Structure 1
Amino acid sequence: MKETLLSAWLYFSFIRCPFHFLFYYTSKNKAIIDRDLDVWIRQLELPYSRTVAFVHLLVWHKEFRNLFYYRLKPWGHILNLIMPKLSSLYLNAKYIGPGFFIQHGENSRINGEYIGANCWVNQDVAIAFSNRTDRPTLQDGVKVHVGAKVLGKVTIGENSIIAANAVIVKNVPPNCTVVGVYPAYIVKENGIKVKKPL
């Protein structure tokens, strides 16, 4: 019964989304949005077609709305009046690559210079300026876990993981897991356990 009601509500929700569909299908970033959708569908294990999953994500995942509206600049401001985004999640990076996934997004601020493809962030994350101009670059496949801070003009190498509550103020090589507040250090590199300073 519960699943039937949820399905009915989901299909009813199509009524709320005509302008979202219009902007989606006419966007110059449609291919990037499709990559985002594919990642979100896979991560959340949604049993729907891309079209139905798009509505599901708009209705049930405010973090997805933030990302979708970011892709549609400046038209996202209009859609925000219909379905508000998550107010404590800020996506102000110069560029965010396709396949960006936000697992919860409360109190996160993404101000990177460049965010590569297939990156992942959690809640309470700051990818932030250290002064008026210096902000981080995340290469492809980077994961930034709960409460982590990446600050200033640093580069996080591809496929690296920033552990929960870590504070990163130095470059991180590719394929590393980094933990710690100050100083942060590498605990895994290319799949091998290590203990190395940054």
Structure 2
Amino acid sequence: MKNIIKTIWFYIKFIIFSPLLIPYYLTTEKELIKKDITKWIECLSIEANSSNIQLIHILQNSPEYRNLYYFRLSKGNLSAKISMYILKIIYRPCGYFFLDQSCNIGGGLFIQHGFSTIIMADIGENCWINQQVTIGYKDKTGRPNIGNNVRITAGAKVFGNIDIGDNVVIGANAVVTKNVPPNCVVVGIPAYIIKKDGERVRQELV
């Protein structure tokens, strides 16, 4: 009996959230959204055979993803944008996660929790950003440019016109205001390198 109720409830929720599939099938940004879905399914260990069910599951259970989904749709064609703006009235975005519309973001961005997280930067592919992270301007000179496969963990701050290289991990609560070379782990306030190309080091950022 419990399994029957669970199955019925699953399909009820699917029907409730299924209108969110409309802009997905209209948008020109489908390939980027597919990459995002793949990343979220992997990170959240969701089991679902259908891509539609996967997308609905994430939209329903991860309000942070809803912001990213709307961000993708806003970059696409007019018909998808119109349907997205209508649906946003009913399916509200996450209020504690801010993703600036001016950002350029590669596919496969994963937001874990996203509480009190602000993103104003250009970001590469397959990146991971945790809660209470702030990425953006230090002054009018510019904002960060973040490479591929970068992970920015809880409470980290990344400010200014700087470059974060590929395959970088920024430790919890680190404050980064200088360029970070590829293949590094940085921690601290101000941030410094503790691992580079797989080797343990103690190196200041320049």
- Which TM-score band (shorter chain)? over 0.9
What are structure 2's unaligned runs of at least 5 residues? 75-80
Between the two proteins, the alignment pairs up a number of residues equal to 196
Report if the CA contact (8 A) 1:86-1:106 is conserved: no
TM-score (norm 2): 0.89
Q: Does 1:192 align with 2:199?
A: yes
Residue 29 of structure 2 is matched in structure 1 by: 29
Shift of 1:81: 1.4
Query: 1:1-20 alignment to 2 at 5 Å?
Result: 5-20=5-20
Q: Secondary structure at the match of 1:109?
A: strand
Q: Distance in 2 between matches of 1:157 and 1:3?
A: 48
Q: Secondary structure at the match of 1:14?
A: helix
Q: Secondary structure at the match of 1:72?
A: helix
Shift of 1:4: 5.6
Q: Secondary structure at the match of 1:170?
A: coil
Q: Secondary structure at the match of 2:131?
A: coil
Residue 77 of structure 2 is matched in structure 1 by: none
The 1:2–1:136 alpha-carbon spacing in structure 2 relative to 1, beyond 3 Å, is: farther
Q: Distance in 1 between matches of 2:4 and 2:92?
A: 26
Residue 107 of structure 1 is matched in structure 2 by: 116
Query: 1:58-77 alignment to 2 at 5 Å?
Result: 58-73=59-74, 74-75=81-82, 76-77=84-85
Shift of 1:193: 0.8
Among 91, 103, 109, which residue is 1:83 paired with? Answer: 91
The 1:108–1:5 alpha-carbon spacing in structure 2 relative to 1, beyond 3 Å, is: farther
CA-atom RMSD, angstroms?
1.6
TM-score (norm 1): 0.93
Among 77, 98, 103, which residue is 2:107 paired with? Answer: 98
Which is worse superposed, 130-139 or 28-37?
130-139
Shift of 1:51: 1.6
Q: After TM superposition, where is structure 1 displaced by more than 4 Å over at least 4 residues in a row?
A: 1-7
The 1:181–1:5 alpha-carbon spacing in structure 2 relative to 1, beyond 3 Å, is: farther
Q: Does 1:53 align with 2:54?
A: yes
The 1:192–1:65 alpha-carbon spacing in structure 2 relative to 1, beyond 3 Å, is: same
Residue 150 of structure 1 is matched in structure 2 by: 158
Q: Distance in 2 between matches of 1:35 and 1:190?
A: 27
Shift of 1:88: 1.0
Among 164, 172, 187, which residue is 1:179 paired with? Answer: 187
